[in-house]
A and B are shown apart, each in its own frame.
Chain A
Amino acid sequence: GQNIDQPTEMTATEGAIVQINCTYQTSGFNGLFWYQQHAGEAPTFLSYNVLDGLEEKGRFSSFLSRSKGYSYLLLKELQMKDSASYLCAVRDSNYQLIWGAGTKLIIKP
């Protein structure tokens, strides 16, 4: 079966750095996505990785290792507004998105 694992919840301090991990087992691979979702709102796109390596976009970076079935989202200089759920999703061989359950990130002052 297809499976995506990410931690349920993480806590970090304002101004610090946090890394949210995602491991996946899917039927084929056509890219990995990270989305941010605030409570009661729809997800918003953060990043896309299809090749191994690090993609940096401002305070957010995303890393992919296809051989390990592993990705992480790195958030730097954390702000209170970064408190949200972060969803990892993998596009499989049928070009369907397989979603992780999301990681709830709590930022403390």
Chain B
Amino acid sequence: GAVVSQHPSWVICKSGTSVKIECRSLDFQATTMFWYRQFPKQSLMLMATSNEGSKATYEQGVEKDKFLINHASLTLSTLTVTSAHPEDSSFYICSAKGTSDYEQYFGPGTRLTVT
């Protein structure tokens, strides 16, 4: 099956700094990628949808200037958490939509801890 990777798998950063998370589709081209965050014991919350070569579409309540998303190629999307705060600590998961109409392939997730 299709493989999606994320890097880093976990990161600890200090409050006020920025962190970039990469999401790559390894063996297929992903025209659409999704970014989710998940708090412990809670469901996935869609943050934004990114299409290659265009601006990301953010969900209501998600600050686009704080969570910068770039989908520069058909295999790479990045999420940058700017001026991170402890409340941004979460599990961030990306997924990519391939040519199949019904499957989304998830990356392994990135655990962010802001101290």
Contact = CB atoms under 8 A, between A and B. Distances in A.
Interface of A: 31, 33, 40-45, 48, 50, 87, 96-97, 99-102
Interface of B: 34, 42-46, 49, 91, 93, 102-109, 111
B104 A50 contact: no
Q: Which DSSP category, helix, strand, loop or mixed, fits chain A's interface?
A: loop
B43 A97 contact: no
A41 B109 contact: yes
Contact of B103 (A48, A96, A102): A48
A40 B107 CA distance: 12
A42 B107 contact: yes
18 contacts: A40-B91, A40-B109, A41-B108, A42-B107, A43-B93, A43-B106, A44-B106, A45-B104, A45-B105, A48-B103, A87-B44, A96-B46, A97-B34, A97-B46, A97-B104, A99-B43, A101-B43, A102-B43
